[in-house]
Amino acid sequence: ADDVLVLRNAGPKGAPGMPEAGYIPIPKKLAAAGVKDMMRISDARMSGTAFGSIVLHIAPESADGGPLALVRNGDHIRLDTKGRRIDLLVNGEELAKRRAALPPLPDGAGKRGYEKLYLETVTQAGQGCDFDFCIPEITRTIP
């Protein structure tokens, strides 16, 4: 694909709550030109009734310092579905500059109650977006 649409900061901490992004539409200008599908990548979740070339639940999410936070307009992204990889094709020096310029990660500092509890303990999409203290310790192997 020549173009990729990236929606970031829609994960468990960034939104917060990982709300359903719904159908991430083709931009109107492209749809008017006849584009029916394009690669879309996000740390969000989406309705099961939506369709198209979409990679979701990217973790760690942008708001937690994940790689989508470093993507900028014009960057090249390689998607290898067979190898289950997405690579941001930007040199390490540039990525280090971008990472240094990121705003502080969301945490519970200065917050109270549920918001504080949530931001300090929610896990990423790959771990189920649950509170870390709700994950049981594995004490035995089930054959």
- Catalytic-residue membership of 42: no
Q: Beta 77-80 vs 39-42: how paired, if at all?
A: unpaired
| Contact assessment for residue 12 and residue 42, using Cβ atoms and an 8 Å cutoff | no
Give residues with Cβ within 8 angstroms of 121, minimum separation 6.
Answer: 131, 132, 133
- Using CA atoms, how far residue 24 sits from 44, 66, 95, 99, 129, in Å, is 10, 20, 26, 26, 21
Catalytic one of 42, 47, 53, 62:
47
Q: What letter represents residue 54's amino acid? A: I
Rounded to the nearest 5°, which phi and psi values hold at 109?
Answer: -60, 130
Give residues with Cβ within 8 angstroms of 119, minimum separation 6.
Answer: 13, 16, 106, 107, 108, 111
Which residues are catalytic, by number? 47
